[in-house]
Structure 1
Amino acid sequence: MSSPSEFAFELALCAQLEQTTDWLPARQLGASVASPGSRIIDVCAVVPGPEFDERARITDRAIPAAAIESDVGAGSAVFWRDGFDCHPGRARRATDRAVEVGFFESERRRSREYVRRAARYPDDWFSRLVGIENKPDLGSPGDLLRQLRLDVSLAVFDEVILATESYVTGAHLNRIPEEVGVWRFDPDTGDREVVREPQPLSPGSTGVEPVEYHSLHTDVALVSPAEKRTARLRLAERAYGKGWRAYDLPACAHARVDADGRPVCAHFDRVVDPGSECGADCSAFEAADPPELDRDGLRESRTGWVVDPAGAVRRQSGLDRYF
């Protein structure tokens, strides 16, 4: 985020979506494929599909895409490395994480680890991924147009939306790619006006991802449908596991949380960004324990996400896999 006001805008929008839709919003997730980390989407909203409840019963945390796409089945256990067609290091990390979150069961046979799936993975647990780029002030667009063009040409999302607090003119709409929807959102009142509906993108087709910009040309990478399927799966899982309240709360006597779980400063009477506004450099800072916030309870009460489900197997501590 480039400013505290954008942080507050983003949190207000996530809270509004959580209360007015059945979407699961999450913040600040990687949305590029060929050049990982080069595109961070402000909000990725997961729209539940017909098998959402089955996904919620497995685990409340993200399942690695490599584990989901592996050849590890629910029948006979296999040697962990034989179930993957990828780099051994990535396979090892995916195996450990899948066991930790309860998607894989693990057993030892003569000092070798064998794994099987603890549950069937529901392919239709989400129906759409909506990418939302926040730009409260269109008078300071920065790299907005370049980011939106990338989102449209890559088409990892089913829809892309620009959310702003500014009055949107015809000139603005003409500059923004026509596939991008536009919302005007008031973070103080929670009012959200649909200025333009988004057009459906084509996540099932080959995408074009700009990877390097030059003065006279742009280098691009073609991203196959299979690569995009993996990227979408990774995005959906990370959004499911992370949510939008992943920020630390300020360790300050003036710190509070509002009904939505947003960090509020009682001294300045507004939402603050703990990462950039709070701490010893603040003139009003008074060291204290951070306020309490039941992130999981709040999210569970407002969405279909389930905290600590029973799952197919109970989570293992990790140590019992080595003895």
Structure 2
Amino acid sequence: MTPDAEFGYELLVCRYAELAWHPSDGSRPAIVARQLGTKERRWDTVVIEVDPAAFGERRAFGERTIDSDLLHVVRGAPAEWAWYRDALPHPGYPWRYVRQAVHRAADRDLIEKRRRNGRIEFRRTRPYPDWVERIVAVENKPDLDRSAADRLADQLEHDVETALADEAWLATETTGERVEPALLREIPVEAGILATDFSEGVHGNAGSVTWHPSDLSPADRECRDPEAKTLRLEIAERAYGKGWRSFHDTMRPDCRHFELRREGRALVPYCAAKEKVPTARECAGSCPSFSPEPPQWRTNGWPIDGGPGKGFEQVLARRRERERDRAERVE
């Protein structure tokens, strides 16, 4: 059954995207994340379509996000030893921050560094690959009425105008009609519309395309502004490191009421005390129903190392890795 909260619906859309992307053009290798974007616009669901071989090369850099400062260093690292100020373009901010990023990158084995003649020199361990094919933004609204369509129209118009994403979509629960009337009245024609039916949980056929999106990307990928290219890569890196199952980072899986429940082929958080899918605001230490795991659960009194809460985190982490593996294997 589709959760009442938009947060719960968002998780189901993310899982559907993993199973069935692209909904109108057939299978494409991709990773999925949620609540990412820029200072001006945050997207509910972000789909990063990847080149499988290049994605495998990206994974060789580790499982964590490479942030913007580290990207400047890793992308610009030379094949041969060089002073970092000679090898890198001016960052637009003081060089001391670049030097700090060089040290951080070396600590994570993203590059090699050495001190020679009083200078910090570095070189790459491997080239940073061009692994991102396309970025797709999805806005989620399970219950779409006229007022919601009005608000979403402005957000989607922004996505269309900036064209930072290659496609913009709206996902909503189906009304049972052939065409969702509220959508077509308000939503920009360039945005795709995905009607979902999660009444039997998430599966690959739980969505249908009501309106096909326009391709917002320039005809030549190289035509993008360099600043936009960098921003897109930063978003993709955050999506890679965060994924969409990171909801446990802002919730309390160590509460004895916290569960993971199956919705078809999706696992979503569930609060046994409230008998619902909670939001991050609700699932907090300040919750009146919060009941921490007994200490013996987190030591030797439980078969899962660290207690049930840690067990939930391990299950979600394994599923994230499985999806990364699948995106890398697709040809």
Pick the TM interval, shorter chain: 0.7 to 0.9
Q: Which residue of 1 aligns with 2:301?
A: none
Q: CA deviation at 1:229?
A: 1.1
Q: CA deviation at 1:81?
A: 3.5
CA distance in 2, matches of 1:122, 1:298: 24
Q: CA deviation at 1:297?
A: 1.5
CA distance in 2, matches of 1:84, 1:269: 55
Q: Which residue of 2 aligns with 1:81?
A: 85
Q: Percent identity?
A: 35
Q: CA deviation at 1:176?
A: 0.7
CA distance in 2, matches of 1:94, 1:261: 37
Q: Deviation string for 1:249-302 (max 9, x for gaps)? A: 4232111123545321123343222x2112455453323276222133211123
Q: Which residue of 2 aligns with 1:169?
A: 180
Calculate the aligned-residue CA RMSD, in Å. 3.1
Whether the aligned pair in 2 keeps the contact of 1:18 and 1:24 (CA below 8 Å) is: yes
Q: Does 1:49 align with 2:51?
A: yes
CA distance in 2, matches of 1:77, 1:170: 61
Whether the aligned pair in 1 keeps the contact of 2:80 and 2:123 (CA below 8 Å) is: yes
CA distance in 2, matches of 1:145, 1:296: 35
CA distance in 1, matches of 2:267, 2:113: 37
The equivalent position to 1:183 in structure 2, one of 171, 182, 194, is 194
CA distance in 2, matches of 1:95, 1:174: 52
CA distance in 2, matches of 1:157, 1:75: 32
1:203-218 aligned at under 5 Å gives the runs 203=218
Equivalent AA in structure 1 for residue 98 of structure 2: A
CA distance in 1, matches of 2:104, 2:46: 22
Q: Which residue of 2 aligns with 1:122?
A: 129
The alpha-carbon distance between structure 1 residues 92 and 73, as it changes in their structure 2 partners (threshold 3 A), is closer
Structure 2: runs of 5+ lacking an equivalent: 22-28, 294-306
Q: Does 1:303 align with 2:308?
A: no
The alpha-carbon distance between structure 1 residues 245 and 100, as it changes in their structure 2 partners (threshold 3 A), is farther
Equivalent AA in structure 2 for residue 254 of structure 1: H
**More deviation, 59-68/241-250:** 59-68
TM-score, normalised relative to structure 2: 0.74
Number of aligned positions between the proteins: 282
Equivalent AA in structure 1 for residue 274 of structure 2: F
Whether the aligned pair in 1 keeps the contact of 2:141 and 2:170 (CA below 8 Å) is: yes
Q: Which residue of 2 aligns with 1:237?
A: 237
Q: Does 1:197 align with 2:201?
A: no
Q: Does 1:16 align with 2:16?
A: yes
TM-score, normalised relative to structure 1: 0.76
CA distance in 1, matches of 2:195, 2:100: 42
Whether the aligned pair in 1 keeps the contact of 2:44 and 2:139 (CA below 8 Å) is: yes
Q: Deviation string for 1:22-54 (max 9, x for gaps)? A: 3211111123xxxxx121111111112152222
The alpha-carbon distance between structure 1 residues 84 and 4, as it changes in their structure 2 partners (threshold 3 A), is farther
Higher helix share: 2
Q: Which residue of 2 aligns with 1:212?
A: none
Q: CA deviation at 1:245?
A: 1.7
Q: Does 1:256 align with 2:259?
A: yes
CA distance in 2, matches of 1:203, 1:232: 14
1:84-95 aligned at under 5 Å gives the runs 84-86=89-91, 87=93, 88=95, 91-92=98-99, 94-95=101-102
CA distance in 1, matches of 2:101, 2:158: 29
Q: Does 1:109 align with 2:116?
A: yes
Structure 1: runs of 5+ lacking an equivalent: 32-36, 207-222, 307-323
CA distance in 1, matches of 2:326, 2:122: 27
